[in-house]
Amino acid sequence: MPPPRPRNMRPNIVTEAGVSTRLNQYWESIPFLTSAIVIVCGIIYLVCLLFGYDSFAEVCFLPSALVSRFQVYRIYTSILFHGSLLHVLFNMMALVPLGSEMERVMGSVRLLYVTILLATSNAILHIIIAILVAYNPIQPLEYFMNECAIGFSGVLFSMIVIETSLSGAQSRSVFGLFNVPAKWYPFLLLVVFQLLMENVSLLGHLCGIISGFAYTYGLFNILIPGTSFYSSIESSSLLSSCVRRPKFIVCTGGNTSGYIPTHSSRNSTSGGILSGNVWRNLSSLIPQREVSAQPTEDSRFPGRGRTLGSVQGQADSALHSDSSLQARLLDNSSPDQPLDSSAHDTAQPLLGGRNSAGNVATVAAGAPQNQGANASEEEIKKLVSMGFDRTQVEVALAAADGDLNVAVEILMSQQG
């Protein structure tokens, strides 16, 4: 019987953190630029509230003012001002998860550049559409030219499109009620907000969606600089105090190869609008994530993958495992047939140099399967009892180098 615990000892003292501690931990988990935007928008709203400024006529995005008086500053001041507490609260609550994920992938300076680029493209599209609607010969409508829009939501809609492309999901949940195809998710949000809320800028949100798709399809590649551009900004003395902060994410420290499309060539200083896979991406209906040319490790299958062109200096066990796997994949014989010694002999030159048709044919003809090369009979029976096919079990165990857990993951992914 354990000794009685003192009465004044709290059993879960580590997990019983106060509200302030939890809020502080949450705030510290938000990267530098995302938290800076939240602070700036919050302070601007509080200042406007204290001084009773609620017209926003001088700072809002007004297409007629930009066209007639060329007040370009409105493009950037309009995204920092908000009209009500719910307006700024909802926008910042949406920004924190979206901005945090993108900033961890892209870096703080890169995300700042992309945010400015998205705000600028949103404004240009807004003006073009407003002019076309106002001066069309069929039914002129000047409402959009005189619409005074404020808020960060236009950039947020662009981020929603980019994040959807980043996630690679085929469907998204709408408020946890039902799922829709990922490509229609931003448009459904646009319709829902337009129906449920008042004074919502339809054109501002729509331009945000269009800019997001343009970015994911690579149409802004010509405007995206290389990593050296961001590194030079991070190394400047003006940002030295910011870079030293723990929440700041440098461009070289984040996932620069990212799954967010930036520019086609990772090693070049700038991209081109006709380079890479831009036009192939345009033919796709769903934004696809750009894949780096260098091999990357899949989180579902840990470990280093091996190919037929590997070097001769590999360990003998790895060599035997790979040759056995290739023989299993190429052989159509019975799984109970024992392994012939010629499989290893013919696999040796196949792994050592350039592949040839004769070597492959030799392996395919004389390389039956071996049940005991990478896994014991007991492990095979254990997986077969789980409902997997024996041949698939043997191949999966060979690919996993006898690791039972990895083999189960491979089999489950094949089942899915």
Which residues, listed in sequence order, are joined to residue 178 by a DSSP beta bridge? 174
Reference 55, options 126, 150, 122; nearest CA is 150
153, 158, 321, 323: the catalytic one is: 153
Contact 145, 63 (CB under 8 A): yes
Helices (H), 135-237: 153-167, 185-196, 202-216, 227-234
> What is the DSSP-derived secondary structure letter of residue 149?
B
What span, in angstroms and rounded, lies between the C-alpha atoms of 171 and 182?
4
82, 87, 126, 205: the catalytic one is: 205
Q: How many CB atoms lie within 10 A of CB 347?
A: 23
Question: H or E stretch including 346?
Answer: helix 342-352
What span, in angstroms and rounded, lies between the C-alpha atoms of 250 and 235?
10
Catalytic (active site) residue 320: no
Angle formed at CA 183 by CA 180 and CA 186, multiple of 5 degrees: 80
* Residue 166 CA from chain centroid, whole number: 3
Catalytic (active site) residue 153: yes
3 state DSSP class of 404 = helix
| Buried residues in 99-123 as b, exposed as e (16+ CB within 10 A) | bbbbbbbbbbbbbbbbbebbbebbb
Computed on alpha carbons and rounded to an integer, the radius of gyration of the chain in Å comes to: 29
* Residue 135 CA from chain centroid, whole number: 40
Which of the residues are catalytic?
A: 153, 205
